[in-house]
Structure 1
Amino acid sequence: MTQIAALRVKKPDAPSSAGLLASLRGVSKAYATPAGSFMALQNIDLDIASGRFIAIVGKSGSGKTTLANLLTGIDSATSGSIRIGGVALEQKSEEELTAWRGRNVGVVFQFFQLLPTLTVVENVMLPMDFCRIGQTRDRRPRAMSLLAQLGIAEQADKLPSDLSGGQQQRAAIARALANDPQILVADEPTGNLDSHTTLEVMELFRSLTREGRTVVMVTHERDLGAFFTETVELADGQIVAIHNGEARP
């Protein structure tokens, strides 16, 4: 499997490095509400380079999920620029962003989002089918290889409902890795898991970063700090701190 450049979050005023993968400059996001415009993010400056397991932390409403959605291209900034792998996301149409995301971003959700009528291996093959990655005959073997790497190859032909929560999350991670993405973004991926399974998934994410992959994870769980190498802390839509080492509440 091709190794992917991982991420390092730097302080906004830090100089760019040769390994710069993504850059956010003056990024704001506003949502229209019945009470008026709500600023979910304000003037975010952030550089992302290689080699880290990143946490995005903050209280509810601080802008964590909004930042993750901007990094994945699921949402678009109201103002500012976002460049990932040299691609200016604000210059892409919605259709172009969908195609770009399918090939360059892996997304892991809290509630797995596996299609219930497809088998586990079919769920993992879906991104390859959608983006027409490789030859058709090669997609199932690649999906099986990913499931084996994640320790659930024997579950391949079962429906998601037949799997435990931890197994479903592993299947979701395999699906996120199917197209060998530049960035893996996980939004509260352990929020629906018991403590034992949470530790298993966190160890899995850490092992992916050791292979040279990138994991950027939104979380509110305070006891996972030992897994992270850097933490971006948000409050009221702004970056208030970037910590090295353990994540902090």
Structure 2
Amino acid sequence: MRPAAGADPDAPLISIRGLSKSYETKSGRFPALRNINLDVLPGNFIAVVGKSGSGKSTLVNVMTGIDTPSAGEIIAGGTKVHLLSEEKLAVWRGRSVGVVFQFFQLLPTLTIIENVMLPMDFCNAFPARERRERGLALLRKLGIADQADKLPAYLSGGQQQRAAIARALANDPPILVADEPTGNLDSKTSDEVMALFAELSVEGKAVVMVTHERDRTRWFTRVIELSDGAMVNDQKAGAHA
């Protein structure tokens, strides 16, 4: 895998300024995020922590364009993400951000290799003749190349999470975002996944991970804490402290 496209280590891959997100509820307007300011740099491995309902998942959903902000700016590589149309947003996300979910979200009727190739097909990021071999190379890196032609149901939870990570890396995005990716894994597999994310950050990617497992903060370079939708702490952590 090539390093993230030659980024200046001091230039943010994503800059968030004055980001707020509110939802209308039966009891009135609920502020899920309040005036978030954040720069995500190449090589960052960021933990987003906080109590349930603090805004962790909302932050990464807005950061990746899955949800839209109520106010503020999201700028990535000169692109004003918050102003993109749905069509352009999908293309930007497909090329720029890999997303890993807690429950894998692999398509059950596609084989593992077909799941990994799907983002390449969607974005036309690599020549068609190269996509299967690229997918296999990612699966080899993750230690599950021998599962490539199986359906997801035949894989263990840990193997499915590895496949989901391979899919997230398919277009070699500079940013990887993961929402509780170890929540359904045993401790050994969790450590292996964390080590992989750490390796990706050393290679120059930015990895942003929502987690409630504070004992895993030794893996991170930064820990961001949210409370009631506001960012109350941003500090260096064990890996590079």
TM-score range, shorter chain: over 0.9
Unaligned runs of 5+ in 2: none
Match of 2:131 among 118, 134, 139: 139
Matched letter for residue 160 of structure 2: Q
Partner of 2:217: 225
Work out the CA distance in 2 between the residues paired with 1:33 and 1:182: 35
Match of 2:196 among 184, 198, 204: 204
Work out the CA distance in 1 between the residues paired with 2:42 and 2:205: 9
Match of 1:116 among 108, 117, 125: 108
Partner of 1:33: 25
Matched letter for residue 4 of structure 2: I
Deviations 1:118-147 (A, max 9, x none): 100000000001111222111101000100
Asked if 1:130 corresponds to 2:130, the answer is no
In the superposition, the TM-score normalised over structure 2's length comes to 0.95
What is the deviation of 1:202? Answer: 0.7
Match of 2:154 among 122, 143, 162: 162
Are the aligned partners of 2:40 and 2:206 in contact in 1 as well (CA < 8 Å)? no
Work out the CA distance in 2 between the residues paired with 1:6 and 1:162: 38
Matched letter for residue 122 of structure 2: F
What is the deviation of 1:18? Answer: 4.0
What is the deviation of 1:2? Answer: 2.4
Deviations 1:89-123 (A, max 9, x none): 12111121111101111000000000011100000
What is the deviation of 1:158? Answer: 0.7
Asked if 1:242 corresponds to 2:234, the answer is yes
Work out the CA distance in 2 between the residues paired with 1:203 and 1:125: 24
Match of 1:101 among 93, 103, 109: 93
Partner of 1:2: 2
Percent pairwise identity: 62
Partner of 1:52: 44
Equivalent residue of 2:44, what SS? Answer: strand
- What are the equivalent positions in structure 2 for 1:10-25 lying under 5 Å apart? 18-25=10-17
Unaligned runs of 5+ in 1: 8-16
Equivalent residue of 1:41, what SS? Answer: strand
Equivalent residue of 1:128, what SS? Answer: helix
What is the deviation of 1:20? Answer: 2.1
- What are the equivalent positions in structure 2 for 1:43-82 lying under 5 Å apart? 43-82=35-74
Moved over 3 A (4+): none
Work out the CA distance in 2 between the residues paired with 1:189 and 1:75: 19
Equivalent residue of 1:50, what SS? Answer: coil
Work out the CA distance in 1 between the residues paired with 2:50 and 2:6: 22
Equivalent residue of 1:51, what SS? Answer: coil
Equivalent residue of 1:184, what SS? Answer: strand
Partner of 1:13: none
Equivalent residue of 1:206, what SS? Answer: helix
Equivalent residue of 1:76, what SS? Answer: coil
Matched letter for residue 186 of structure 1: A
Are the aligned partners of 1:146 and 1:178 in contact in 2 as well (CA < 8 Å)? yes
Q: Relative to 1, partners in 2 of residues 1:193 and 1:162: Cα closer, same or farther, differing over 3 Å?
A: same
Match of 2:164 among 160, 172, 175: 172
